[in-house]
């Protein structure tokens, strides 16, 4: 795993693999008008065909970073390069076609009189005819399980329904990268599972790279190719979910708690005095190992 500590003498972040980098956040800082630091000398990248999870405590800079990815916020220092286009060089036009952002607060996203108008807005702006835009909007609403909301007024939707409609609005545009800020907050378990499946499908079926900011570390553990721990406006450490979530000291330093699955496994091993090299991340992996351990009469030689 790479523990990233930014060298203050270094003004740029290294390209990891320029040929595959869709997003390159180059030492970017953002200071809000009231002086609050949103992000600070942030180095971050997203590759083609990658799901990246941003995990960090409240106020660590996840939303600020995400709002830079479609040009909604501009860095005070440094640069954001999206698919070779540099924000610092002013190459911002139509960035929304490249990166679709689902905001943390759905109220910031929904504005049209009806749900259908809202989800059709993106496809219409991409130049589709009203009939084509409506078909895309309906497909997207069906994909997120919200087709029954089509004629409702966005203002009168519940928090979870607003989130589903926001996701549909971005999905309908089929951008190259989708960034979702807290995609499962406010959702019931059925809709959360639907969104989780969709995120995996974005990548597998459409080759869309996905960034999620989430406090749901179980979700990050299940679906992310790479986890970036955000602390004080910068990426503090990053690696595969297994590397990151089994580094208990690192998770504590980052101000987070271990995912339940990890904690349960470590406590179980400690409880029966078992030393194991296994590192389950999903409930299925955990149950399989617990069954194996039970089959061994709680033997102490797993892994």
Q: Which residues form the interface with ligand ATP (CB under 6 A)?
A: 32, 34, 36, 38, 56, 58-64, 104
Chain-centre distance of CA 151, in angstroms? 29
Q: How far is the CB of 195 from Mg ion (least distance, A)?
A: 17
Q: Pick one of 27, 38, 63, 100: the residue that binds Mg ion (CB under 5 A).
A: 63
We find the least distance from the C-beta atom of residue 125 to Mg ion, in angstroms, to be 26
Pick 87 or 269: Cβ nearer ligand ATP = 87
The DSSP H or E segment spanning 197 is helix 189-206
70 contact, one of ligand ATP, Mg ion, none, CB 5-8 Å limit per kind: none
Q: Which CB sits closer to ligand ATP, 170 or 228? A: 228
- Give the integer Cα–Cα distance in Å for 43 and 207: 24
Sheet holding 77-82, edge to edge: 37-47, 21-31, 77-82, 85-86
The residues in 103-132 that bind Mg ion, with binding defined as CB under 5 A, are: 104
Round to whole Å and give the CA distance between 5 and 238. 11
Cα–Cα dist 45/181, whole Å: 17
How many Å from the N-terminal Cα to the C-terminal Cα in the chain? 21
Closest CA to 162 of 208, 206, 103: 103
State the nearest-atom distance from the C-beta of 73 to ligand ATP, in Å.
9
Q: Are 145 and 68 in contact (CB under 8 A)?
A: no
Of residues 168-187, which lie at the interface with Mg ion (CB under 5 A)? none
- Only one of the segments 56-64, 162-170, 203-211, 250-258 lies at the binding site for Mg ion (rule: CB under 5 A); that segment is 56-64
Is 209 a residue that touches Mg ion (CB under 5 A)? no
Nearest to 198 by CA among 228, 164, 173: 164
Output 61 or 280, the one with its CB closest to Mg ion.
Answer: 61
Nearer to Mg ion, 62 or 163 (CB): 62
Tell me the closest approach of the beta carbon of residue 38 to Mg ion, in angstroms: 10
Beta partners for residue 227, in sequence order = 53, 239
62 vs 222, beta carbon nearer ligand ATP: 62
Q: Minimal distance in Å, beta carbon 147 to ligand ATP?
A: 29
Nearer to ligand ATP, 56 or 239 (CB): 56
- 3-state helix, strand, coil split of the chain in percent (to 5) is 40, 20, 40
> Minimum distance from CB of 112 to Mg ion (Å)?
24
Task: Dig out the tokens for 16 from the structure.
Answer: 């990891």
Provide the angle, in degrees to the nearest 10, between the axes of the packed helices 130-143 and 159-171: 130
* Nearest distance in Å: CB 229, ligand ATP: 11
Nearer to ligand ATP, 44 or 265 (CB): 44
3-state secondary structure (DSSP) of residue 42: strand
Contact 146, 168 (CB under 8 A): yes
Q: Which stretch binds Mg ion (CB under 5 A): 1-9, 55-63, 120-128, 141-149?
A: 55-63
Number of residues counted as binding Mg ion (CB under 5 A) = 3
Least distance to ligand ATP, CB of residue 33, Å: 7
Query: Which of 208, 267, 281, 270 is CA-nearest to residue 239?
Result: 281
Nearer residue to ligand ATP within complex by CB, 105 or 152: 105
The residues binding Mg ion (CB under 5 A) are 62-63, 104
């Amino acid at each position: 795993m790479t523990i990233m500590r930014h060298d203050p003498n270094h003004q740029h972040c290294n390209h990891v693999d320029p040929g595959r980098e869709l997003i390159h956040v180059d030492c970017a800082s953002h200071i809000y008008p009231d002086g609050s630091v949103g992000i600070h000398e942030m180095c971050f990248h997203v590759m083609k065909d990658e799901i990246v999870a941003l995990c960090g405590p409240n106020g660590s800079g996840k939303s600020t970073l995400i709002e830079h990815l479609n040009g909604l916020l501009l860095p005070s220092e440094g640069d954001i390069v999206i698919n070779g286009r540099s924000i610092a060089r002013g190459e911002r036009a139509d960035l929304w076609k490249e990166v679709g952002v689902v905001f943390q607060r759905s109220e910031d996203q929904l504005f049209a009189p009806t749900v259908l108008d809202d989800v059709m807005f993106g496809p219409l702006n991409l130049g589709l005819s009203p009939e084509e835009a409506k078909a895309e909007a309906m497909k997207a609403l069906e994909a997120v399980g919200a087709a029954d909301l089509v004629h409702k007024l966005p203002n009168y939707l519940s928090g979870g329904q607003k989130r589903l409609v926001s996701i549909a609005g971005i999905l309908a545009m089929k951008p190259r990268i989708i960034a979702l800020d807290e995609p499962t907050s406010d959702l019931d378990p059925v809709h959360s599972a639907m969104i989780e499946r969709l995120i995996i499908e974005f990548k597998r079926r459409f080759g869309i790279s996905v960034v999620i900011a989430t406090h749901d570390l179980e979700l990050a553990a299940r679906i992310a190719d790479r986890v970036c721990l955000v602390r004080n406006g910068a990426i503090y450490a990053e690696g595969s979910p297994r590397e990151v979530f089994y580094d208990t000291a690192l998770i504590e330093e980052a101000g987070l708690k271990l995912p339940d699955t990890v904690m349960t496994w470590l406590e179980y091993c400690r409880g029966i005095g078992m030393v194991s090299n296994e590192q389950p991340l999903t409930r299925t992996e955990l149950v399989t190992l617990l069954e194996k351990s039970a089959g061994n009469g709680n033997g102490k030689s797993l892994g």
